[in-house]
Structure 1
Amino acid sequence: MRKFLKEKQYIEIWGDVVESRHLLFSMVITTITTFSLFSFAPKGDRPMGLLLGLAGAVLGFSISVFLIKPKRNLIVEEK
């Protein structure tokens, strides 16, 4: 069981490979920020809810970008 928890599991999404725990972590962050900002919208104002929800999604994406670093190394070779 411990070996399973220590192994890194990778998932391919849109041609890119990501670590599953980082994907889950970023999805949780984005969901929390989206629903948090959406809940601040007045009850009868649907466009404001849409805009605040979208702003929350962008905020969550931005937080995820800064917290989770890329896993790939780019090596440039001259010919």
Structure 2
Amino acid sequence: MGMPLELNTMIVTKGNEMRVRENLFTLVKEGFRLYPVEIPIEVRRTMEGDLIGIAKIKKVEWENNETTLHYQLIALNSTN
């Protein structure tokens, strides 16, 4: 039996990100998702929304049909 998996090339927050400290954030997404790690990718509030900034994902965790991203914002295009 296969595992449903989604490949993502940008971080879409929908306003659900949690600031851990300064420019480090955590985001929990439903389902199992695969993201590039340690490569700069876009951060947007919605898929078609304006670019918020650029981040590097530091860690991806899969558990209980959820994906938890730990990422560092490395460039900010607008204020939160």
- Pick the TM interval, shorter chain: under 0.3
Q: TM-score, normalised by structure 2?
A: 0.25
Higher relative contact order (CA 8 A, sep 6+): 2
Pair member with larger Rg: 1
Structure whose residues are more often strand by fraction: 2
Q: TM-score, normalised by structure 1?
A: 0.25
Structure whose residues are more often helix by fraction: 1
